[in-house]
Structure 1
C-alpha cells in the first residue's frame, strides 16, 4: 500500500499531467505520517543525547526545540554530526537565550523559564471581522479563546496583560463592539475562577490560573477497545456506527439580519406545533446544522482541474 501511494502521485499544471517521482504529495495524510516515522528514526541520537543529560527535546513536523547547558562549540559539533546522516535533511540552528518554537517564545530569564506568545514581525493584528457573515456565537467566542491561549502561553502576569491589551486592540480594529469584549473578558475570568485578576495585579492568583489551564485536559469520550482486539486489524475509526433513527439532522444556510435567529424560532415553532402530549414526533430529535456561506477563497481558489481534463476529453475542437 505504501509503495502504491508513493509511486503513483500525479498532478496537473497548465492543463498537463505530471508524474511526481521524488518525494510525496503535499497535504497527503500518508505522506505526513510516513515522514514522521522516518524522522523518529533519524532523531533517535538527539533524543537519547538529551535524555541522558535530563534536557528537553521536542519536534513538531520540521521545527525542533532543545535545551542545553553545553558550550556553543559542543552543541554545534553535535548538530553537524547529525547533519551528515541524511543530506536531504538540513538543520538551521538558532542558539540564543530566547528562541521561538511555533508560536511560543521561550526565554531563559536569569535561570528561570519564561514563555509568552510569539508574534511574527510581519503579522497583521487580524481576527475574523465582526462584520463577517458568521453566527454571533463565533464572534462571541473569539475573545474568550484568545485569552485562553494567552493564559496558557504566558508564564507571568505582566506578559499576559500585555497580550490581553494586544488582543483587545486587534479586536477593536476588526470592529468588535467594546461592550462585547468587556463581557467576554469578564466571562473568561469568571468561568476560570480568576475574578481577582480583573481588578488586581496578583501574581500568585495568575500562576494558579496559568498552571490550571496549562495542564487541563479536554474532556473527550475515548473508545476503549477490548484487550483481545487488535487496533491494527480492527481500527476503531473504521467501525460502523449504528444508525440512530430518532435523530434527524437538518442543514440550513446562515444569513445575517432577521434570519440569524432562525434556529431559536424553529425550535419554538417545533415545540408549539409538534411536541404536544401523545405526538408521534416526540420520539424525533431534530438537530439543526449550520451551513456557512462560501467565502472568497471558495470562489477564487481552484484545487481540482476541470472535469474535462480529469476525464481525458479534448474540448479544444469545440
Structure 2
C-alpha cells in the first residue's frame, strides 16, 4: 500500500535460484520463444507501475543471457511481444500512462485455462446432452482422412532440418496432378524429450483408468494380537461377506494366516 495506492511487483525468493530452459538444451525452438513471451506476460500482469516492470524486464534479460540466449534472439522476441500488444512506446520510453493501459489490458485478458473453461460452459449451455470428456477425446483421436500427423522427438543436431526435408519430399513425391494424396495435409510436429522427473518419478495411473475400479469387495483386515507368547490367531475375516465372495475370501485369509505364522514362528516350517 503506497499512500493509498495498491502496488504489486514480481516476488523472487532470495534463496531460490532463477531457472529457465537453457537455450542449448535439447528442446524445440518454440519452447525458447514461449519462455520469453511467458516471462514478459507475467511481468506486465504483476507489476503495477512502469518502474517495477523495467526492473523485472532487466532481470529477465540477465537471466536469459546467463542461460546462453543470444542477444539478437532476446531483442527480437522482446520487440515482437510489444508489437503483438500494440504498445511499442513502452519499450522505447518509460511512460506510466501507456504502461497502465497495457497492464490493464493484459490483466483483463483471459488465460488459456480461463478460455477453455468459458468454452466448456458455453458448450454445456448450447448442448446440454454433450458427450463426456472421454468420448470427446475418443472422437478427436478418430482418423482424419484429410490430414496426416507425424511426430518425432526433437534433437538439436541430426534432426534439426528433418521437418523441412520431410515437407520437401512430401511435396515432390506425393503432390502431383492426379495424386490421391493431393488434398491431404501433412502436419509435422515435435515432441520434447522426457525430463528426469518424468523418467524417475512413478505417478499414479490417469483418472480415466481409475474410474471403473470396483472397490465394493475391499475390506479392512483387523491385525491379529501378538502380545502374548502363546497367542492364538483369532478369526479376523469379516463373516458378513456376500455368498459369492465367501469362498475366495476364506482362501485369501488362510493364505495370509500361513504367511503370518511363517514370519512369527519360522521354526515350524521346513527350510528349503
What are structure 1's unaligned runs of at least 5 residues?
1-107, 305-318
Match of 1:229 in 2: 128
Match of 1:246 in 2: 146
Compute the displacement of 1:295 (Å): 3.0
The answer as to 2:87 corresponding to 1:187 is no
Distance 2:154 2:23 in 1: 15
Compute the displacement of 1:182 (Å): 0.9
Q: Give 1:51-70 correspondences, 5 Å limit.
A: none
> How many residues are treated as equivalent by the alignment?
196
Q: 1:281 aligns with which of 160, 170, 181?
A: 181
The answer as to 2:185 corresponding to 1:292 is no
Match of 2:105 in 1: 212
The answer as to 2:160 corresponding to 1:267 is no
- Give 3-state SS (helix, strand or coil) of 2:58's partner: helix
Q: Give 1:1-318 correspondences, 5 Å limit.
A: 108-218=1-111, 220=115, 222=119, 224-225=123-124, 229=128, 235-236=132-133, 238-239=135-136, 240-241=138-139, 243=142, 244-303=144-203
| CA 1:218–1:271: 2 relative to 1, 3 Å | farther
CA RMSD of aligned residues (A): 2.5
Compute the displacement of 1:174 (Å): 1.0
Q: Give the TM-score normalised by structure 1.
A: 0.56
Compute the displacement of 1:249 (Å): 2.1
Between Structure 1 and Structure 2, which shows a larger proportion of helix residues? 2
Describe the superposition over 1:56-103 as per-residue Cα deviations: whole angstroms up to 9, x where unpaired: xxxxxxxxxxxxxxxxxxxxxxxxxxxxxxxxxxxxxxxxxxxxxxxx
**Structure number with higher relative contact order (C-alpha < 8 Å, ≥ 6 residues apart):** 2
Compute the displacement of 1:303 (Å): 4.5
Describe the superposition over 1:204-256 as per-residue Cα deviations: whole angstroms up to 9, x where unpaired: 1101111111111357573523667366xx54554352632322222212111
Distance 1:272 1:254 in 2: 24
Q: Segments of 4+ in structure 1 off by > 6 A?
A: none
Structure 1, 220-229 or 252-261: larger mean CA deviation: 220-229
Compute the displacement of 1:302 (Å): 4.2
Distance 1:182 1:190 in 2: 12
Distance 1:156 1:197 in 2: 11
- Give 3-state SS (helix, strand or coil) of 1:225's partner: helix
- Give 3-state SS (helix, strand or coil) of 2:167's partner: helix
Compute the displacement of 1:168 (Å): 0.7
